[in-house]
Amino acid sequence: MTKHLSKQQRVKRDESKIVLPITPMLDMTFQLLFFFIVSFNPADLEGAVELALPSEKQTAAPKDVTPEKPPELEDIKFESNLTVKVRTQTDPETVGEISAISILDNNAKEEYVQPSANAGRQNPLLVGLRENLIKRREMMSDNKESIKIQGDGRLKVARIIKVMDACREAGFNNISFVPPDDFRK
Amino acid sequence: MSHGGGEDSVDPDLTPLLDLVMQLLMFFIVNVNFVKEAVSQDIELPISSSAKAISKGDTGAIFINQKSGRNKRFFNSLSEKNQARLRNAESIILVPGLNPMSPLEAKGWLRDRYADLAKRNEAKARETMIHFRPDGDLELNQLFLMMEFCKAAGFKNLKIRAKVKKES
């Protein structure tokens, strides 16, 4: 038995349908999407450079230090096998760039790093430093892989970080930065 | 041969397309970052292959952004008042929420900041991490100067930040 709806009932049913307007909602969705696409700004990943700062125990006898005053950076001595000295240019055009790198051993014997012929697009001095350090490390006994890096005062921070990377690539993981010779002068 | 007349209308199915639109929207909503970390966008960090990603649990850390005072483009972007004050500064310290400072002004600020933190909790003040964000062109002397000021103020934990080099 089919149920027949009266005309009145059919009209009422048609009138009670609610139609949701989707179009404006989709417009809003696209507006939001556009906003977020435009404001999307993926930042470069930042990290911390691992370097050893001197501990209080390694302090040499400073000249005038009261018990409350912490020792000055330049009074602190570092135990290290090698020292990498990085020198910079002084003329206004190239000040801050690496001009020479030398390596001092514990006998205060200084050897200037030769630029590498296999550097390609990298800085030849940095590649030469890495090659030199790799050779030295092979001759070292274990647990003597500490190195300190000392740059000129006017050397750019970006360049000294590259020197640090070269030392780390050569296998030296215990790296210290020491204040420049002309620090506070 | 009959050519079907009125039954050829093709309604494209929009549902999968809208699903994709919603997915994109959710991705961008999740990745939006309205409040940046306490960093300065003027600093061009050096790139290091040995920089290690930091965990984001350090809520009480202090960020010290440091820019070379010889950078003319940046110096000219400062207000006239700041330019007059920082004309002879070798480097300019940018701490979010504060006016740009010279290293000596930053030294005083660090001392006061440590004193404030120590009033609440001495041990926590000593353990407060200082994140240095040096510009790549900053002179080494200036970076060491700020590190010395931080140590003199009482802060012992220092870190230097760099961009992590992407392996190609």
pLDDT tens column, A83-132 = 999 999 888 778 889 999 999 987 778 889 899 888 888 889 999 999 99
Partners of residue B147 in chain A, C-beta under 8 Å: 73
Residue B108 binned pLDDT confidence (cut-offs 50, 70, 90): very high
> A44 and B131: CB-CB below 8 Å?
no
Average pLDDT over chain B, rounded to an integer: 83
Closest Cβ–Cβ partner in B24, B135, B161 for A46 = B161
Look at residue A68 in the predicted model and tell me its pLDDT.
45
Task: Give the amino acid at A122.
Answer: Q
Distance of alpha carbon B134 from alpha carbon B67, whole angstroms:
6
Closest Cβ–Cβ partner in B46, B134, B140 for A180 = B140
Examine the predicted complex and report whether its ipTM is higher than 0.90: no
Look at residue A58 in the predicted model and tell me its pLDDT.
40
Q: What is the average per-residue pLDDT within A74-82?
A: 59
Look at residue A144 in the predicted model and tell me its pLDDT.
61
Q: Is the pLDDT of residue B145 over 50?
A: yes
Look at residue A90 in the predicted model and tell me its pLDDT.
80
Strands B129-134 and B62-68: parallel
Q: What is the average per-residue pLDDT within B62-77?
A: 89
Q: Is the pLDDT of residue B13 over 90?
A: no
Closest Cβ–Cβ partner in A30, A46, A151 for B45 = A46
Average pLDDT over chain A, rounded to an integer: 77
Above pLDDT 70, what percent of chain A? 70
Distance of alpha carbon A164 from alpha carbon A47, whole angstroms:
15
B24 touches chain A (CB under 8 A): yes
Each residue of A25-63: pLDDT tens digit? 888 888 988 988 888 877 777 788 766 555 444 433 334
Q: How far is A8 from chain B (nearest CA, A)?
A: 32
Q: What is the average per-residue pLDDT within A9-24?
A: 69
Look at residue A18 in the predicted model and tell me its pLDDT.
76
Distance of alpha carbon B50 from alpha carbon B129, whole angstroms:
20
Look at residue A159 in the predicted model and tell me its pLDDT.
93
Q: How far is B149 from chain A (nearest CA, A)?
A: 10
pLDDT, greater one: B62 or A5: B62
Partners of residue A33 in chain B, C-beta under 8 Å: 21, 24-25, 28
CA distances from A60 to A54, A63, B102, B141 (A): 11, 9, 31, 22
Look at residue A156 in the predicted model and tell me its pLDDT.
92
Look at residue A11 in the predicted model and tell me its pLDDT.
56
Look at residue A38 in the predicted model and tell me its pLDDT.
87
B88 touches chain A (CB under 8 A): no
Residue of B nearest to A97 (CA): B137
Residue of A nearest to B157 (CA): A53
Q: Does residue B103 contact residue B90 with C-beta atoms inside 8 Å?
A: yes
Q: Is the pTM of this model over 0.80?
A: no
Residue B34 binned pLDDT confidence (cut-offs 50, 70, 90): low
A47 touches chain B (CB under 8 A): yes
Distance of alpha carbon B116 from alpha carbon B73, whole angstroms:
35
